[in-house]
Amino acid sequence: MAKDLFHQTVKQALIKEGWTITQDPLTIRIDRVRLEIDLGSEKVFAAEKDGQKIAVEIKSFINPSNVNDFHNALGQFLSYRLALQMTEPQRVLYLAVPIDIFNTFFQERFTKAAIRKYALNIIACNPNQEEIVQ
């Protein structure tokens, strides 16, 4: 699965759930620091529904090491969350991952402990049906 395909999958799944995509990618500026959260084809985008605002970091987990991908995702997630707290505190950040990664690597004791410790909001998406599963 190509990274850009999973990006489109998550967007379509959110649209099916009634979300409106408002920014793709979402750019955050803090003084002279500019975070254009666009990592190749992996992007953060903004969405709104019923007055709720979210930002979604999409990670495909297609590299050989899930641990490496998780370290990257965690570091980016924490930085982006801080930036959003400084600029748009009402916007909640989510990490979107494929359902197969959620059902395997994200169920490991270490990964679950990190998710709890760092209060990660996770979206598990089924890429075949373009659906949010959890």
**Domain extents in the chain:** 1-132
Q: What is the pTM of this model?
A: 0.89
Could you tell me the pLDDT band of residue 125, with boundaries at 50, 70 and 90? very high
Contact 24, 62 (CB under 8 A): no
Contact of 88 with 134, CB cutoff 8 Å: no
Residue 43 CA to residue 87 CA, distance in Å, equals: 18
CATH fold, domain 1-132, is Trna Endonuclease; Chain: A, domain 1 (3.40.1350)
Read off the pLDDT band of 42 (50, 70, 90).
very low
Determine if the peptide bond prior to 25 is cis (ω within 30°): yes
Q: How far apart are CA 29 and CA 39, in angstroms?
A: 16
Would you give the DSSP letter of residue 119? Answer: T
Q: Where does the pLDDT of residue 26 fall: very low under 50, low under 70, confident under 90, or very high at 90 and above?
A: confident
